[in-house]
Amino acid sequence: MDEERIKQAVLSVIERTDFAGQVARAVQSTNAAADSHLPSPPARGDGGEGKAQKLLTRIVLGDILDDTILGARPQDRTFPLRLLFSELGTLLTHEGDEGPKGHAADLAFTFASGINFFFRAAMDAESKLRVGFEVSRQLYLLAHDARLDPEVVAKAAPLLATMMTTELERLRFETVDHAKVFDSSVHERTTDSDPTGSRILRPASFLCRVATNNAVKAKAQVVT
């Protein structure tokens, strides 16, 4: 993985969706103990391996996360987020594989590239909203296609929404994972949904509200 590939992944998301993408905090090596912190592996030989590991750490935002996430334990509120990004790191190691694992790795890379763009790039408020919304869409696409643990995703998504909200001006992201019935005032069906269905099968994005009056700025996409 190199920086040029990150740029290309972000551009591909923009071209396909007219949005950008992102990835937010928290990752740890899958083999690390539950109470350990993300290591910084030393470079070997000509330094290529060490540089690659450093880049991977940056891709999953390991360089900007705080200890409440990186060092979260099972009893901590942020532990689901740590689990989610640990899984993200695992999926990224299958880059170049064929079949389902390779597909999941591609989705993980797109999500990670997008979340990096969201947290690292300077942009105006409207663009930040659009980027963040698309990142949330990529999260649920990854969760579904890579068959991530639904319980982990449901617990981690609100934490991710809260973190992403810190980057917004006068807006906030919310999750709709708890919703079971379609409500046109806050939900929008995805293109592959049953247009007459009222039962929500799964969420497909965050909801965005105006912080001061709770008005809906961007409806949450759902699959019915």
Q: Indicate the domain borders of the chain.
A: 3-168
Helix (H) or strand (E) holding 77: none
The reported pLDDT for the residue numbered 194 is 96
Q: Sheet holding 187-189: strands in order across?
A: 187-189, 220-223, 202-203
User: Which residue, among 178, 134, 175, 23, has the nearest Cα to 87 in the 3D structure?
Assistant: 23
Beta-carbon neighbour count of residue 164 at 10 Å? Answer: 26
Q: Tell me the backbone φ, ψ of residue 203, rounded to 5 degrees.
A: -75, 155
For each of the chain's 224 residues, which pLDDT tens digit applies? 455 554 454 444 444 433 333 333 333 333 344 344 444 444 444 556 665 556 556 665 656 566 677 677 888 888 888 888 888 888 888 877 788 889 999 999 899 889 888 988 899 999 999 999 999 999 999 999 999 999 999 999 999 999 999 999 999 999 999 999 999 999 999 999 999 999 999 999 999 999 999 999 999 999 99
The reported pLDDT for the residue numbered 51 is 59
DSSP, collapsed to helix, strand or coil, labels residue 222 as strand
- Amino acid letter, residue 195: P
> Cα–chain-centroid distance for residue 192?
21
The reported pLDDT for the residue numbered 171 is 97
In angstroms, what CA-CA distances link 66 with 30, 40, 217?
Answer: 18, 15, 30
Question: What are the residues facing 28 on neighbouring strands?
Answer: none
Cα dihedral 141, 143, 147, 152, rounded to 10, equals -170
d(Cα 112, Cα 105) in Å, to the nearest integer? Answer: 10
